[in-house]
Amino acid sequence: MEERYQLNKELAQMLKGGVIMDVTTPEQAVIAQEAGACAVMALERIPADIRAAGGVSRMSDPAMIRSIQEAVTIPVMAKCRIGHFVEAQILEAIEIDYIDESEVLSPADDVYHVDKRQFKVPFVCGARDLGEALRRIAEGASMIRTKGEPGTGDIVQAVRHMRMMNSQIRHAVSLSEDELYEEAKKLQVPYDLLKQVHDSGRLPVVNFAAGGVATPADAALMMQLGAEGVFVGSGIFKSGDPVKRASAIVQAVTNYTDAKLIAELSSGLGEAMVGINEQEIKLIMEERGK
C-alpha cells in the first residue's frame, strides 16, 4: 500500500513545471497536447459553464472521457465529486491516469472525502491552506493544487491560497520540536506530515496552482509565487484564440522569470475570457471540502 502511494507521488512529480488544461472534446485535447500541455483534464463543461448553468454538476460521461483518452498520448485526468468514492471507482475502472476530487463539481459528501489510499490511481485535491493540504495528503492525495475560484478568470483567490500556504510552511519550519505537536493539533493534521514540512520546507507532494489563470502573466505569477505547475480551466477555450493562448501559457510557465519573453507571448493573443470579479461571485466553490 505504502509502496503504491510512493509511486503515485513520484508519478505526480513527472508533471512538474507543466500546464494541465481543461478540455471538453477530443479536438480541444489535441490542441492542448500540441501546445505542450503535460496533461489534460477531461470534463463535460468547463468551470465557467458549470458556474453559469447552476444546478448539480456530476462526474463526466465515461464515454466522453474515453474519447479524449483515445485522442491523445499525454496523461488524462478526470474529476469526481468530493466524497463520491463510486465515481472514483468508475474512473479507476476506465483507466484514467489521475483523479481530481474536485470542488468544481457539487460535493456528494459534506463530511468525508474519498479514502484515496483504497485506490491504485493517483489523486489530485484542492487546498486553500497548509491544514487542508496536509489533511488531503493524509487521506492519500498524491498532488495538491490551490483551489482558486474556478471559472472566474480572477487570479486573486489562487494568489491568496498560494501565499497563505507559503507563509504557513515558513512558520512550520521555524517551530521547535515541541511546538510542532501543538501546531499539528491546531491545523488538525498528522504530526509526521507536519514534521516532513518542517524538515523539508515544502509540501510532501507536488503543489500546482489552479483557479482563475487566464493569461501568460497569471501563469508566470503563480510560478514565481512558488507553484510547481499550473492548471488552466476556462482561461484557454473561453478566449478568442485558444491555440495561441494555450501555447503562450505553456511557454510562460517554462520561462516564468523571463519578462521580455512573457511580454512577447502576451502580445496579440486575442480576447481573454470575460472574467467574473471576486465580489460578483454568487457561488463560492473554494469553501467546498475542508
Query: Radius of gyration of the chain from Cα atoms?
Result: 18
Q: Does residue 2 or residue 84 have the better pLDDT?
A: 84
pLDDT given at position 286: 63
Q: Which residues pair with 210 in a beta bridge?
A: none
pLDDT recorded at residue 51? 77
Considering the candidates 9, 79, 116, 120, report the single residue annotated as catalytic: 79
Q: Burial-class residue 92 by CB neighbours within 10 Å (0-12, 13-18, 19+).
A: middle
The yes-or-no verdict on residue 104 having pLDDT over 70 is yes
- Region 20-47: mean pLDDT is 95
Residue ranges with strand state E in the chain: 19-23, 39-42, 76-81, 98-102, 123-127, 143-146, 206-208, 230-232
Which segment of 55-64, 196-205, 258-267 scores lowest on mean pLDDT?
Answer: 55-64
Res. 113: pLDDT tops 90:
yes
* Percent of the chain residues topping a pLDDT of 90: 80
* Confidence at residue 279, expressed as pLDDT on a 0 to 100 scale: 62
Query: Has 244 been annotated as catalytic?
Result: no
pLDDT score for 149: 77
Q: Which amino acid belongs to residue 244?
A: K
Average pLDDT across the chain, whole number: 93
> Is 77 in contact with 70 (CB distance < 8 Å)?
no
Q: Is residue 181, in this structure, part of any structural domain at all?
A: no
Task: Note whether residue 238 is domain-resident.
Answer: yes
Helices (DSSP H) in 99-231: which residue ranges?
Answer: 130-139, 156-174, 177-187, 191-200, 216-224
Q: Which residues contact 50 (CB under 8 A, 6 or more apart)?
A: 57, 104, 105, 150, 151
3-state secondary structure 64-81: HHHHHHHHCCCCEEEEEE
With bands split at pLDDT 50, 70 and 90, how would you rate the model's confidence at 47? Answer: confident
More confident site: 104 or 85: 85
Mean pLDDT for the stretch of residues 81-99: 97
DSSP helix/strand/coil, 101 = strand
Neighbours of 207 (CB within 10 A): 23
The verdict on residue 227 lying in a domain is: yes
pLDDT tens-place string over residues 195-230: 999 999 999 999 999 988 999 999 999 999 999 999
- Band of residue 275 on the pLDDT scale cut at 50, 70, 90: low
Asked whether 79 and 104 are in contact (CB, 8 A), the reply is yes
Q: Which grid coordinates are listed for 146?
A: 490551490
Residue 44: how many other CB atoms lie within 10 Å = 16
In a domain, 221, yes or no: yes
Tell me the average pLDDT across 82-103: 97
Position 272 pLDDT exceeds 80: no
Mean per-residue pLDDT, 64-93: 97
Q: In this model, does residue 277 exceed pLDDT 80? A: no
Q: How confident is the model at residue 162 (pLDDT cuts 50, 70, 90)?
A: very high
For the chain, the domain total comes to 1
Predicted pLDDT at 276: 66
Neighbours of 280 (CB within 10 A): 9
Give me the domain span that covers residue 236.
2-155+205-270
Q: Residue 271 carries which DSSP code?
A: P
**What is the mean predicted confidence (pLDDT) over 19-38?**
97
For residue 45, being part of any structural domain is answered with yes
Q: What is the mean pLDDT of residues 93-103?
A: 96
* 276 occurs within a structural domain: no
Does residue 274 carry a pLDDT above 90? no
285 falls within a domain: no
In a domain, 126, yes or no: yes
- Whole-structure pTM value: 0.92
CATH number, residue 85: 3.20.20.70
* Nearest residue to 206 (alpha-carbon basis) of 124, 139, 131: 124
